[in-house]
Amino acid sequence: MEPDEIGGYDQGILSLGRISQETPNVKYLPETTQVLTGHSYLNYFLANIKVVDSHVCACKEETETIHHFLFSCRLHDDRRSVFRNAVDMANLSWPPKLADIPQSKLLWEAMESFIKQTKRLNKPKRQ
Give the separation between CA 58 and CA 47, rounded to whole angstroms.
13
pLDDT above 60: residue 15:
no
Q: Which of 35, 27, 22, 3 is nearest to 103 (CA)?
A: 22
- How far, rounded to the nearest angstrom, does the alpha carbon of residue 14 sit from its chain's CA centroid? 12
pLDDT above 80: residue 19:
no
Any bridge partners for residue 63, and if so which? Answer: 56
Total-model pTM: 0.81
* HSE value, Cβ hemisphere, 13 Å, CA-based, for 6: 5
More confident residue, 46 or 33: 46
pLDDT per position as a tens digit, 84-108: 999 999 999 999 988 888 888 899 9
pLDDT per position as a tens digit, 38-81: 889 999 999 999 999 999 999 999 999 999 999 999 999 999 99
pLDDT above 50: residue 16:
no
Q: State the burial class of residue 119 (Cβ atoms within 10 Å of its Cβ: 0-12, 13-18, 19+).
A: exposed
Q: Which of 1, 11, 123 is nearest to 67 (CA)?
A: 11
Q: Which of 6-10, 27-31, 41-45 has the highest mean pLDDT?
A: 41-45
Confidence of residue 28 (pLDDT cuts 50, 70, 90): confident
**Per-chain mean pLDDT for the chain:** 83
Any bridge partners for residue 56, and if so which? Answer: 63
Give the separation between CA 92 and CA 105, rounded to whole angstroms.
14
Give the separation between CA 25 and CA 52, rounded to whole angstroms.
35
